[in-house]
Amino acid sequence: MNLSSTNGVILTVAELNNRAKSLLESCFPLLWVAGEISNFKRYDSGHCYFSLKDSKAQVRCVMFRNRAALIDFQPREGMQVEARALVSLYEARGDFQLTIEALRPAGLGALFAAYEKLKQKLELEGLFAPERKKPLPAFPRAVGIVTSPAAAALADVIAALQRRMPSLPIILYPTPVQGLDAAAQIASAIQKANQRQEVDVLIVCRGGGSLEDLWSFNEEVVARAIAACTIPLVSGIGHETDFSIADFVADVRAATPTAAAELVSPNSEEWLARLDRQRSRLHRAVERQLQSKMQGLDAAARRLQHPGARLAQQHAYILELSRRLHLAPNRALEKNRYRLTQSALRLNHLKPSTIRQQDRLASLKQRLASALPRTLLQRQQCLSMLAARLEPWNPQAVLARGYALVSRPDGQLVRLGANLKHGDALSLQFADSAVDVRVNKDLGLQGELGL
């Protein structure tokens, strides 16, 4: 038997769970759910799994690591909480579950709403503005502490102040930091410290606790007392993750009461070490100056001489100059003589030898006299040989054998009779003379020319 939907489409289990998940997530917005924690487990991955239940029902919940890291308290079995959650379905098992985005102890919703309302109001008034913050003094003459004498935070602050600056005076303005009238008494203690002006900086502090424990510092009366205080004020309330209204109004917010003490007090060890370094640098600078001045004094002392010694040195110097003056002419004369001798030697070496040049000239004349007839004879023999070689090519010899040169009046030779026509003037060059003729008929069939 097949099970199918009304439209005939058969779904797989995965498809069914996916559709159910999509339907749940689209129908339910992000909402708050109140209940009791049951079966709470935090795994090594950081994810938390538990159930929320009341007297009639329960629902599975999962809180992933990135959201679980934001919880500022430790969830416990049986704790009543309020969870901001998305309704969903775990498809692998088909489990209906809530994906938790935020978790807080039950009953804190009204406190959070009041906290946000007051914070927004004071922020609009400018009580949180950075420009109204006062700087902390670098070396306060006295430190005031507004807290309970029984608070553990007081011991931590005093221990930190004594460790960092034992000589710094501490004035306590005692007040309860928790309870019904705590906010008014905290504001009164701040006002008392501001009126007395006994200290240069003020610490308002207490240890960690729940939102209800720290609520006195979220009251408007405390915030306005801090804002009206003319003494620079540091808040050190709760742990590092705790933020109160007083933290936003204070001139400086410290993560813990101990951190507040460290902010307002200079570290005596660091300053003593800095002073030691400055003293050492000053001592070295003075020593260097003294050594420099002593060296200058020694140099001046070496230059400073007795007048008699100075005169004796000048007298000896004058005697030496006189001796050198007497010796100078002789030395100059000897030097010039030496230079003259060297120049004469170089001149003799460079002087030409006329006898040797005359002998060379006579030899060249003799060689020229013997070479000229020989060269002339060689040239004549060469010329005769060239003339004999050119003789067969002489046109005059050809004409002597009975040939003649036929040319036009302009000197152009006539090589073919076919180029002549009747009446052309010609010149016939024989071996002994030239004769002018004229063509009286054209070239015949036999190629005979009639002149």
Looking at residue 30, its amino acid is L
**What does the DSSP assignment read for 153-170?**
HHHHHHHHHHHH-TTS-E
Q: What would the mean pLDDT of 194-199 be, rounded to a whole number? A: 94
d(CA 61, CA 192): 51
Question: Which pLDDT tens digit goes with each residue over 67-101?
Answer: 998 887 788 888 888 899 999 998 888 889 999 99
The rounded distance, in Å, linking the Cα atoms of 420 and 447 is: 11
**Is this model's pTM higher than 0.75 or not?**
no
Question: Higher-confidence residue: 364 or 393?
Answer: 364
Which of 115-124, 218-227, 358-367 has the largest mean confidence? 218-227
Question: Residue 352's pLDDT is what?
Answer: 64
Residue ranges per structural domain of the chain: 13-107, 119-264, 269-295, 354-392, 398-438
CATH superfamily of 119-264: Response regulator (3.40.50.2300)
| Mean pLDDT value across residues 140-157 | 92
Asked which of 58-62, 131-135, 422-426 is least confident by mean pLDDT, the reply is 422-426
Residue 94 CB neighbour total at 10 angstroms? 13
From CA 98, how far away is CA 34, in angstroms rounded?
A: 12
Q: Specify the DSSP element, H or E, that contains 182.
A: helix 182-196
- Type of residue numbered 435: V
Q: What whole-number distance in Å separates Cα of residue 53 and Cα of residue 230?
A: 52
* Distance between CA atoms of residues 417 and 408, nearest Å: 12
CA distance readout (Å), 138 to 157, 232, 260, 262, 354: 18, 11, 14, 12, 110
The C-alpha atoms of residue 67 and residue 103 are separated, in whole angstroms, by: 9
Q: pLDDT category, 1, cuts 50, 70, 90?
A: very low
pLDDT digit string, tens, across residues 6-19: 466 888 998 998 99
> What residues form DSSP beta bridges with 62?
49, 99
Tell me which of 185-194, 197-206, 397-406 is least confident.
397-406
**Integer Cα distance of 183 and 118 in angstroms:** 14
Which candidate, 202, 189, 183, places its Cα nearest to that of 244? Answer: 183
CB atoms within 10 A of CB 123: 14
Q: Token pair for residue 90?
A: 């775990």
Q: Is 376 exposed, middle or buried (0-12, 13-18, 19+ CB in 10 A)?
A: exposed
Is residue 399 within 8 Å of residue 435, measured between CB atoms?
no
Sole residue written with tokens 């007795």: 306
Percent of the chain with pLDDT over 90: 33
Question: What would the DSSP string read from start to end of 389-444?
Answer: HHGGG-HHHHHHTT--EEE-TTS-B---GGG--TT-EEEEE-SS-EEEEE--S---
Count of beta carbons in the 10 Å neighbourhood of residue 49: 14
**Position 328 pLDDT exceeds 90:** no
Q: How do residues 389-432 score in pLDDT, each as one tens digit?
A: 887 777 777 777 778 888 888 888 888 877 888 888 888 888 78
Task: Number of helices (H) and strands (E) in the chain: give both, helices first.
Answer: 12, 13
CA dist list (Å): 61 to 105, 364, 433: 16, 135, 150
The CATH code that applies to domain 13-107 is 2.40.50.140
Strands of the 252-253 sheet, one edge to the other: 170-174, 143-147, 201-206, 233-237, 252-253
190: part of which helix (H) or strand (E)?
A: helix 182-196
Strand partners, 104: 82
- What is the C-alpha separation between 116 and 112, in angstroms, rounded? 6
With a CB cutoff of 8 Å and minimum separation 6, the contacts of 220 are 118, 122, 245
Q: Collapsing DSSP states into helix, strand and coil, what is residue 93?
A: coil
Q: Is 160 helix (H, G, I), strand (E, B) or coil?
A: helix
Phi, psi (deg, nearest 5) at residue 380: -65, -45
Residue 4 has pLDDT above 50, yes or no: no
3-state secondary structure of 360: helix
Which of 48, 52, 264, 17 has the alpha carbon at shortest distance from 165? 264
